[in-house]
């Protein structure tokens, strides 16, 4: 009954960055649950023409473009961002764009009296700290490792300030290395799948580097939990991840085995601006959202490889 009550309140959902990896998957899943969903992205959705018909094309850097969005939205899920950590080290202007787009989205909610926002933040806000397991309260902004991390810290601060000043309720989800379908980027797993298929030498940066890889359906399941339970758990921050760490070298070996690769895996040093170790403590999400990631790295990698085989 709680779920039904919630559904009655939240009917119409806007997803920014709806043509991206997580946005596309969330969009599909919410439509399957019979929500009224609108996308907003600067790019057309190349994965799903049905979603593309429901997508407003616009640039969130231009405040003017937010006028294309209908005002009767119950909740905004703000995913739009420049999200490649290393790219933002090379091009820090891209980090400033993240802050401007988040500001413009929040200002749109303020001007239109929209009272609910879900924001996608990142494990990058924890920076490079000694203790690799992080719970939500472990942020120390002096540990910021990169312009990308700084942009997410800034975005979160804007969310909290708009909540206090203008009564906009929020949930912040800190994602961690999401992988799976709809991702052709240079991120670690899709990159490794492409390279290992070619059987050439593959270099990994960081011998001891251990990260928390989250299969896309687990990530999206966490966001849907936030939407369905929003009014009960609002004004909270949640780590949405697998809660388990896997060494990059081990992920590469799992992929290598699954694609029958002949590649040699070489190990280089860490690159600047990249976090060396991170595992999410997800006990808060488990408790309040009843969040339960279901996909092991072995299973998730297999699913991803199958998806790439059939779609890319």
Amino acid 185: pLDDT: 67
Amino acid 260: pLDDT: 84
pLDDT in tens, the chain (312 residues): 555 555 558 899 999 999 999 999 999 999 999 999 999 999 999 999 999 999 999 999 999 999 999 999 999 999 999 988 888 889 999 999 999 999 999 999 999 999 999 999 999 999 888 788 999 999 999 998 899 999 999 999 999 999 999 999 999 999 999 999 988 767 778 787 778 778 888 888 887 889 999 999 999 999 999 999 999 999 999 999 999 999 988 988 998 888 888 888 888 887 776 777 899 999 999 999 999 999 999 999 999 888 888 887
Amino acid 34: pLDDT: 93
Q: Report the CATH fold assignment for 2-181+214-241.
A: Rossmann fold (3.40.50)
Contact in structure between 193 and 308 (CB atoms under 8 Å): yes
**CB pairs under 8 A, 24+ apart, for 265-271?**
265/201, 265/202, 265/204, 266/201, 266/202, 266/203, 266/204, 267/203, 267/204, 267/206, 267/207, 268/203, 268/204, 268/205, 268/206, 269/205, 269/206, 270/205, 270/206, 270/209, 271/86, 271/205
Distant-in-sequence, close-in-space partners of 62: CB < 8 Å, separation ≥ 6: 104
Tens of pLDDT, residues 232-287 = 999 999 999 999 999 988 988 998 888 888 888 888 887 776 777 899 999 999 99
Amino acid 196: pLDDT: 79
Task: Give the bridge partners for 77, in sequence order.
Answer: 15, 118
Question: Among candidates 276, 177, 285, which has minimal Cα distance to 239?
Answer: 285
Amino acid 305: pLDDT: 86
CA distance 251 to 189: 8
Cα 148 from chain centre:
13
Amino acid 3: pLDDT: 59
Amino acid 24: pLDDT: 96
Distant-in-sequence, close-in-space partners of 242: CB < 8 Å, separation ≥ 6: 176, 212, 213, 214, 215, 218, 280, 282, 293, 295, 297
SS (H, E, C) 248-282: HHHHHHHHHHHCCCCCCEEEECCCCCCCCECEECC
Structure tokens, 139: 């942020």
């Amino acid at each position: 009954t709680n779920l039904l009550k919630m559904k009655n309140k939240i009917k119409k959902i806007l997803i920014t960055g709806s043509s991206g990896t997580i946005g596309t998957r969330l969009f599909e899943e919410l439509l399957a649950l019979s929500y009224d969903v609108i996308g907003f992205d600067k790019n057309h959705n190349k994965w799903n023409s049905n979603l593309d018909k429901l997508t407003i094309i616009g640039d969130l850097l231009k405040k003017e473009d937010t006028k294309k969005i209908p005002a009767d939205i119950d909740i905004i899920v703000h995913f739009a961002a420049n999200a490649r950590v290393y790219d933002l080290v090379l091009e820090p202007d891209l980090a400033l764009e993240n802050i401007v787009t988040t500001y413009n989205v929040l200002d749109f909610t303020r001007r239109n009296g929209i009272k609910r926002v879900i924001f996608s933040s990142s494990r990058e806000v924890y920076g490079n700290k000694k203790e690799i397991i992080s719970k939500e309260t472990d942020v120390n902004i002096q540990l910021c490792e990169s312009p990308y991390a700084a942009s997410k810290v800034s975005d979160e601060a804007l969310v909290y300030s708009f909540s206090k000043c203008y009564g906009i309720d929020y949930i912040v989800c800190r994602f961690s290395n999401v992988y799976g379908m709809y991702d052709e980027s240079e991120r670690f797993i899709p990159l490794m799948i492409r390279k290992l298929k070619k059987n050439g030498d593959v270099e990994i940066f960081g011998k001891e580097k251990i990260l928390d890889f989250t299969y896309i359906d687990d990530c999206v399941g966490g966001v849907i939990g936030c939407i369905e339970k929003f009014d009960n758990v609002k004004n909270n921050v949640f780590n949405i991840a697998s809660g388990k760490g896997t060494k990059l070298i081990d992920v590469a070996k799992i992929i290598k085995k699954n694609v029958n690769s002949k590649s040699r895996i070489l190990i280089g040093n860490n690159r600047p601006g990249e976090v060396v170790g991170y595992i999410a403590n997800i006990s808060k999400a488990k408790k309040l959202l009843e969040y339960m990631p279901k996909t092991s790295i072995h299973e998730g990698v297999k699913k991803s490889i199958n998806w790439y085989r059939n779609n890319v």
